[in-house]
Structure 1
Amino acid sequence: MVGKRRYGDGCAIAHALELVGERWALLVVRELILGPKRFTDLRAGLPGISADVLTQRLRELREAGIVQRRKLSPPAGSWIYELTDWGAELEPIVTNLARWSSRSPTLPHDVPLSADSAALSLKALFAPAAGEALDLTVGLRLDEHHFLLRINRDRLHLTRVDSSPAQADLVIETSPQILAALLGRARTLDDVLTTGDLMLTGPRATTEHFLCLFPPPEPVTGISALQG
């Protein structure tokens, strides 16, 4: 972490910001929560970052013990980056931060959204009804990226996979932006099916129930009064 800014504050929050508070650092972590990625995959998920800055952030996160680099076995043989066990403990922090931020009235909705970010929003918003007996497997394709969701009672397990699952209760194919619009209730299921912005394999009623498991949080109030 040579050359990084220090707060000179003994608070653990200050130290946390020294570890992941640099620009892009926490977004690099976000892109690795659902599994390892190559350098080129990370750049694709973070189109605004330069190769030099990504290299620097990865180096800093490795030095901090949050990210590790590993070479895949042949025939792949490529280098990948992944979270360490300690780094993976950031997942609930990242998803809770996303849920907190989603209440902001100034959250931008007209800028690019990575597939991993859109998929993780499902974890951030997941709120099944108390006592609801759920047992659901959902394949999610966001552009060319595939994810598998397994929901059992009040638990959601989300992973990145290589292709759509052979057996699933639902398979949803859309884009990160359309998924975000559905979750934010800016678009309806009828709308995206009619326009072809979403392809569905599975019962329509199950899909509607699935989307209801992710209610958008109530927007924060009183912002205008505070700003005035």
Structure 2
Amino acid sequence: MVARDYGQYDGITQALELVGERWALLIVRDLLVGPRRYGELAAGLPRIPSNILAARLKELQAAGVIRRAPRSRIVLYELTPYGRELEPVVLAFGAWGFKALGDPRAEQIITPDSMTISLRTAFRPQVAAELPATAYGARFGGDDLLIRVQGPELAVTRGDGPADLAFASGPGIHRLISGELTPEAAIDAGVVEVLDGPRILLTRFATTFHLAA
């Protein structure tokens, strides 16, 4: 099923016809974090109309990008192996878009899945490999993420747990990740609130997760 036909024959055109419709790539972004139920996808994309979400899911299934995966009494949507090939594309696209981020508008939010992908995008495994293993408990709005860094490996999961540093932030976290604000300046400006643990570990976080704006 092709929602839009550009009338051209090349790989970029074909890719746009498969995932270029509005919301499609954000659905892929969230499914890169893990399988999701329909309601979870809708909750993670609060502005998507239900008919558009249903249509995009059908289109992505028809394109072989995602599939329905019945589990017990529920149905999950997950990426196919072909769909998972989009991960480096999505991360590169996110890094490119990060350069154009301005200050967040009042109505703009970050979700656990969008932040997870942002962290994957900003993660510097070669830098992390030289640093001690560290667990960060991050609260974004009402959602908690547990960010574990061990050598060049990154694991981000929902929920809380034992952490060396716990902090709270919002969309303004991009100012720390970009280097616009130093860790101390981010704390002083209220962009980051340290909830538990030594403040100096926020410097390690900013060193481990960095994207040039």
Q: TM-score, normalised by structure 2?
A: 0.81
Q: Which runs of 5+ in 2 are unaligned?
A: none
What are the equivalent positions in structure 2 for 1:161-172 lying under 5 Å apart? 161=158, 163-165=159-161, 167-172=162-167
Which of 72, 81, 87 is equivalent to 2:83? 87
Q: Which runs of 5+ in 1 are unaligned?
A: 219-228
Count of aligned pairs = 209
Residue 14 (structure 1) shift: 1.5
| Alignment correspondent of 1:7 | 6
Residue 123 (structure 1) shift: 1.8
What are the equivalent positions in structure 2 for 1:94-133 lying under 5 Å apart? 94-104=90-100, 107=102, 109-110=104-105, 111-115=107-111, 116-127=113-124, 129=127, 132-133=130-131
CA distance in 1, matches of 2:87, 2:177: 20
Which of 203, 211, 225 is equivalent to 2:198? 203
**Residues 126 and 41 of structure 1, relative CA distance in 2, 3 Å threshold:** same
Which of 173, 183, 186 is equivalent to 2:177? 183
Residue 20 (structure 1) shift: 0.6
**Residues 122 and 130 of structure 1, relative CA distance in 2, 3 Å threshold:** closer
8 Å Cα contact 1:174/1:197 also seen in 2: yes
8 Å Cα contact 1:62/1:68 also seen in 2: yes
The amino acid across from 2:27 in the alignment is V
CA distance in 1, matches of 2:102, 2:88: 20
Between 46-55 and 63-72, report the one with greater CA deviation.
63-72
8 Å Cα contact 1:182/1:188 also seen in 2: yes
Which of 152, 155, 158 is equivalent to 2:155? 158
| Alignment correspondent of 1:18 | 17
8 Å Cα contact 1:35/1:159 also seen in 2: no
| Alignment correspondent of 1:223 | none
Q: Which runs of 4+ in 1 moved over 6 A?
A: none
1:138 pairs with 2:136: yes
The amino acid across from 2:10 in the alignment is C
**Residues 134 and 19 of structure 1, relative CA distance in 2, 3 Å threshold:** farther
The amino acid across from 1:120 in the alignment is I
| Alignment correspondent of 2:64 | 65
| Alignment correspondent of 2:169 | 174
**Residues 33 and 144 of structure 1, relative CA distance in 2, 3 Å threshold:** farther
Residue 16 (structure 1) shift: 1.1
Residue 203 (structure 1) shift: 2.2
**Residues 31 and 91 of structure 1, relative CA distance in 2, 3 Å threshold:** same
| Percentage of identical aligned residues | 34
Q: TM-score, normalised by structure 1?
A: 0.77
Residue 189 (structure 1) shift: 4.4
8 Å Cα contact 1:118/1:180 also seen in 2: no
